[in-house]
Structures are given as structure tokens and as C-alpha cells.
């Protein structure tokens, strides 16, 4: 669940909440329908204003006396036995971090998971007394008004409870003897409902006085690489500092769609982002331990291709720009663009048929822009062996192929032997491209007065192989022949 989408003020009419309205329903964005609902008279408020927003995003404000949301019992959430569970919550603490407060809790006095605040600390906890183990927890210090990303990870397969606060490990409890049994006590976001276990205390209430921005839960565990990428995603969205594991320093301008690749150890790595995204990266050429590449975009429009800030009149581009964060040296990557994820209106002008990846170091694509060909592979386009660097900007362009001579004129005496004639495309192309060369004008004739080698060694159709911008030809004069050796070669 995300505070910037699916927040409703009316569960029946499905009316989106606006600033200051009570939240009746907070929709699950995984399409599984596991939504959060209000308890009558205890609804938190939707805050979407300059003072409350975090990095331009609205929040769910729990700073009233007894605001809380709950969820229906569900086998995937709480009414099954679990060998593994992963819970991540992004929140901002309020002015009170001394008294006991519940950020997130599921279960009752017998079995459950929780994220609590007390005595200037945040606690991640788990207990399953019906399988023989009592409340276990990990804790870390927090401050008032702090943006927090807290992760709780449970694995009875490993016998461990693990926790992290803003990327820093809270440690590991290594004495978990058995599974987490089912727990039908109500889920509470912002408060305790139907009991809990906080180091032996079981009472309800304990209402949170801060703001909640995102809640994620899955039945499994993440690799350390996946978790660090998730923390960078949440940290970028909500300005939570991640210390030495903050691999993306462009969150103030490019905090949307944050994803990435990386490696923590020899067998713990992720070398591709999510298939189905508009843009994804992968296939890093030298992804060593502690190498990461994180990308995020500025939420620019993708409803059309535009000529704004273009390096050429023959190129249009998406307004949206992505930026790159690097840790270590992951090498070159393959970047994949899926145009099926664009709205139906997003078509370049007629004749702008070829796609190209544009990379720039300062975000101004009119000058100093590197272009990489994109090859169609089914529904997607790929640019391979792309050397993205820290802070680079990139976007997708569509260009109109144009072929021209590399030099305005080429000449040489017959005694010198030959004249090189090079033609080139305006941008690198991702597929084979055909161009036709013909001779016109002049009085010299091919074979009698000169010979031409290159472009397939004759006039007619010639090919720019995938990724090539130039074709080279050579004009040879024949000694002792008179004639105008200045044929024109229209393309």
C-alpha cells in the first residue's frame, strides 16, 4: 500500500481522498485485494499539502488521539502458519517517541508480528507461543520527526528474526525454534487491535502519532541484494537516509520508479530489474561484490514524443528523464525499453521510425549527448553494452534516419590513386538500414574513367549493418583517361 495512490475517503463510491479528508480505505497495490479499512470514528487523515508531504508525496496522518486502520483476516496475511514473513514500513515519527506506540501489528497475545515505538527506539518483534516461543525482538534508536524505513524479516527455516532501520542492521535473533502459527487477531496500522505481545504487555490502543507512507508484506524473505534495492526505493521516495547503503543520491529530483541491480556476495546478486517496466536494466558486465546500479525517473510525461531539448531536428524524445546512481563499478549494461507500456497517444512523428537511447552527463540533451542504437527484440527494444556512469541522465529518442556525406567535398589528383568518400547516418541505428547510391552529373563513366569500391562496390542499395553509422567508399581514377572525375552520388 502506498500513500500516493489508492487512498479513498468513501469505500462505497470509491472516491479518492483529498487533503484533510478521513481515510476509509487504503488499497492494496499488488492487485490481491488485501486492502486496509477504517474503524468508524477512528479514521486517520489524508494529508496532501506542502507542510505534510514528504518528497512531494502525500502521507496518511495518524497524529490524532486514536487513529487506526485494519485489514480483513486473510490466509496470506495472518490466518495461516508461516515459515517466512517479510514486512517493510516507511513512516515518519511524530513528536512523541517515548510512550508505547504501534506502527504495525498483526496477531494477538499468543502469536504475531509487530513494529513498535517506545523509549526513543523502534522495535521489530515476533512471538508464537502456540509453537513454544515467546516474544523476540530487535531494537534501534530513533528521533522525533525522522523518516524511517523499517524491515522485519522472519525465517523459521533459518531459525532467525532479522531487522533493519534505514539500511542498518538491528541484528539477528538466532533462537527461533519453530514456525509462526496462524493468528486471527486483527491487523492494526497505527494502533493495536485485539491484543498483542510487546515484551509481555498485551493491551490494545497504543496509537501511533506520526505518518505512514508505505506498507509492504510478503510471505517469503528477500536476498540481501533485493532488500538493499528495496530500501533504496523507499529511501528515495521518502527521503530516508541509508548511510553507506544509500546508492542513489538523486532522490530530490528523480525518486519515481526507483529500481536497480547489485551484488552483495558471490551467490547473492540481482542482475536484472523488473520485466514489464517501461525501462529496465540488466546484464551488467562486471557486477562484483558491493557493485550496485540504481535508476529512477523524474515522473515526466510519456504521453508523446517531443522536440524539446533535442540534439537534432531529426530526433524526438520522451519528456521523462531517468538518472543513474552507482556504487562500485558494475560495468556496461543492457537497457530495455518496452513501448507497450506507453499510453496509446505516444507515437513519434511520421518518419521518426528508429529508436535510440540518449545519455547525457548534465541533463541538457541538446549538446554533448551520446546515442546508443536500440535493436528490436519482440515487443521490446534493447541497447547493449551501455556505459552508464554516476549521475548520468538518459531518455528514449525516436529519430528520422538521414544519410549524408561525412565531408562536403573529397578530391585528389589521379596520380594520388584514390579519393575516400564516406557517408554516415545521423544517429546509430539498431537494425540493418538500406540506402541507395546513384551517380549523376559529370561526363566521366564508371569502368572507363574511374572505378568505385565500397558500398557493395557499385551503385545501388547498400546496407548500414546494425549499430554502424558510417559506410566508406573509394573512387579510383584510371590513368591516361580524360574526363570529369567529379560524379555526384545522391543518397
pLDDT at 274: 78
Alpha-carbon span 111 to 132, nearest angstrom: 10
Alpha-carbon span 354 to 41, nearest angstrom: 57
Q: CB–CB of 489/404 below 8 Å?
A: no
pLDDT at 401: 84
Asked if residue 460 has pLDDT above 60, the reply is no
pLDDT at 483: 39
The mean pLDDT value of the chain amounts to: 89
**pLDDT (mean) for 438-465:** 60
Alpha-carbon span 211 to 75, nearest angstrom: 28
Q: Which residue, 81, 89, 158, 85, is CA-closest to 123?
A: 89
User: Which residues 6+ apart lie within 8 Å of 44 measured at CB?
Assistant: 22, 23, 38, 60, 61, 62, 64, 67, 68, 69, 190, 212
Q: Which residue, 375, 395, 397, is CA-closest to 384?
A: 375
Question: pLDDT digit string (tens) for 97-135?
Answer: 999 999 999 999 999 999 999 999 999 999 999 999 999
Assigned C-alpha cell, 299: 515522473
Coil, helix or strand at residue 373: strand
Give residue 490's pLDDT band: very low, low, confident or very high (50, 70, 90): very low
Asked if residue 192 has pLDDT above 90, the reply is yes
Coil, helix or strand at residue 227: helix
**Edge-to-edge, what's the strand order for the sheet holding 15-16?**
15-16, 7-10, 25-26, 36-38, 69-71, 187-189, 101-107, 111-118, 121-128, 133-141
Q: CB–CB of 346/301 below 8 Å?
A: no
Give bridge partners of residue 453 from the DSSP assignment.
Answer: 474
Give residue 382's pLDDT band: very low, low, confident or very high (50, 70, 90): very high
Question: pLDDT digit string (tens) for 330-345?
Answer: 999 999 999 999 998 8
Q: Which residue, 61, 36, 56, is CA-closest to 46?
A: 61
Q: CB–CB of 25/37 below 8 Å?
A: yes
C-alpha 220 chain-centroid distance: 22
pLDDT at 489: 39
Asked if residue 358 has pLDDT above 80, the reply is yes
Q: CB–CB of 163/152 below 8 Å?
A: yes
Question: pLDDT digit string (tens) for 40-53?
Answer: 999 999 999 999 99
Question: pLDDT digit string (tens) for 249-294?
Answer: 999 999 999 999 999 999 999 999 976 689 999 999 999 999 999 9
pLDDT at 185: 86
Alpha-carbon span 314 to 308, nearest angstrom: 12
User: Which residues 6+ apart lie within 8 Å of 204 measured at CB?
Assistant: 191, 192, 193, 194, 195, 196
Assigned C-alpha cell, 249: 543520491
Name which of 17-31, 267-281, 349-363 the model is least confident about.
267-281
Assigned C-alpha cell, 455: 558500398
Question: pLDDT digit string (tens) for 37-93?
Answer: 999 999 999 999 999 999 999 999 999 889 999 999 999 999 999 999 999 999 999
| 175/431: higher pLDDT | 175
Question: pLDDT digit string (tens) for 126-173?
Answer: 999 999 999 999 999 999 999 999 999 999 999 999 999 999 999 999
CA separation, residue 452 to residues 59, 419, 434, 468, 475 (Å): 70, 10, 19, 21, 5
Assigned C-alpha cell, 240: 530516508
**pLDDT (mean) for 385-407:** 91
pLDDT at 479: 45
Confidence (pTM): 0.88
Q: CB–CB of 266/289 below 8 Å?
A: yes
Q: Which residue, 186, 190, 215, is CA-closest to 63?
A: 190
Assigned C-alpha cell, 220: 517469503
Give residue 425's pLDDT band: very low, low, confident or very high (50, 70, 90): confident
| 234/487: higher pLDDT | 234
Percent of the chain exceeding pLDDT 70 equals: 87
pLDDT at 275: 65
Amino acid at each position: 500500500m502506498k500513500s500516493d495512490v489508492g487512498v479513498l475517503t468513501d469505500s462505497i463510491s470509491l472516491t479518492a481522498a483529498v487533503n484533510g479528508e478521513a481515510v476509509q480505505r487504503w488499497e492494496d497495490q499488488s492487485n490481491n485485494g488485501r486492502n486496509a479499512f477504517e474503524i468508524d470514528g477512528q479514521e486517520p487523515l489524508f494529508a496532501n499539502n506542502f507542510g505534510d508531504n514528504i518528497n512531494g508525496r502525500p502521507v496518511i496522518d495518524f497524529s490524532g488521539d486514536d487513529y487506526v486502520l485494519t485489514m480483513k483476516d486473510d490466509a496470506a496475511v495472518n490466518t495461516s502458519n508461516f515459515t517466512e514473513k517479510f514486512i517493510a514500513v516507511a513512516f515518519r515519527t511524530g513528536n512523541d517517541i517515548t510512550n508505547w506506540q504501534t506502527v504495525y501489528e498483526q496477531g494477538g497475545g499468543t502469536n504475531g508480528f509487530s513494529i513498535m515505538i517506545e523509549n526513543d527506539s523502534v522495535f521489530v518483534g515476533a512471538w508464537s507461543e502456540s509453537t513454544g516461543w515467546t516474544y523476540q525482538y530487535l531494537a534501534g534508536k530513533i528521533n522525533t520527526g525522522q523518516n524511517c524505513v523499517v524491515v522485519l524479516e522472519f525465517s523459521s527455516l533459518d531459525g532467525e528474526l532479522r531487522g533493519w532501520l534505514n539500511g542498518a542492521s538491528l541484528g539477528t535473533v538466532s533462537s527461533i525454534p519453530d514456525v509462526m502459527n496462524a493468528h486471527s487477531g486483527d491487523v492494526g496500522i497505527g494502533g493495536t487491535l485485539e491484543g498483542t505481545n510487546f515484551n509481555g504487555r498485551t493491551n490494545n490502543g497504543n496509537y501511533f502519532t506520526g505518518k505512514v507512507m508505505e506498507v509492504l508484506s510478503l510471505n517469503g524473505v528477500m536476498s540481501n541484494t533485493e532488500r538493499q534495492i528495496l530500501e533504496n526505493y523507499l529511501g528515495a521516495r521518502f527521503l530516508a537516509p541509508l548511510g553507506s547503503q544509500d546508492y542513489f543520491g538523486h532522490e530530490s529530483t528523480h525518486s519515481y520508479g526507483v529500481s536497480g541491480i547489485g551484488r552483495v556476495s558471490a551467490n547473492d546478486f540481482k542482475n536484472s530489474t523488473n520485466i514489464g517496466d517501461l525501462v529496465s536494466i540488466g546484464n551488467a558486465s562486471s557486477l562484483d561484490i558491493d557493485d550496485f546500479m540504481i535508476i529512477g525517473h523524474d515522473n515526466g510525461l510519456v504521453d508523446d514524443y517531443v522536440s524539446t531539448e533535442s540534439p537534432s531536428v531529426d530526433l524526438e524524445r520522451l519528456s521523462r528523464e531517468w538518472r543513474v546512481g552507482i556504487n562500485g563499478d558494475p560495468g556496461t549494461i543492457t537497457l530495455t525499453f518496452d513501448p507497450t507500456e506507453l499510453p496509446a497517444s505516444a507515437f513519434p512523428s511520421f518518419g521518426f521510425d528508429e529508436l535510440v537511447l540518449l545519455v547525457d552527463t548534465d541533463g541538457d540533451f541538446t549538446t554533448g549527448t551520446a546515442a546508443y542504437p536500440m535493436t528490436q527484440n519482440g515487443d521490446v527494444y534493447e541497447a547493449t553494452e551501455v556505459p552508464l556512469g554516476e549521475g548520468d541522465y538518459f531518455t528514449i529518442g525516436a529519430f528520422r534516419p538521414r544519410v549524408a556525406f561525412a565531408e562536403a567535398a573529397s578530391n585528389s589528383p589521379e596520380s594520388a590513386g584514390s579519393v575516400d568518400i564516406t557517408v554516415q547516418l545521423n544517429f546509430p541505428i539498431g537494425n540493418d538500414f538500406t540506402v541507395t547510391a546513384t551517380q549523376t552529373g559529370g561526363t566521366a563513366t564508371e569502368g572507363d574513367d574511374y572505378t568505385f569500391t565500397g558500398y557493395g562496390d557499385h551503385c545501388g542499395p547498400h546496407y548500414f549493418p546494425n549499430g554502424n553509422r558510417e559506410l566508406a567508399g573509394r573512387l579510383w581514377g584510371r590513368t591516361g583517361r580524360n574526363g570529369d572525375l567529379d560524379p555526384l552520388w545522391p543518397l
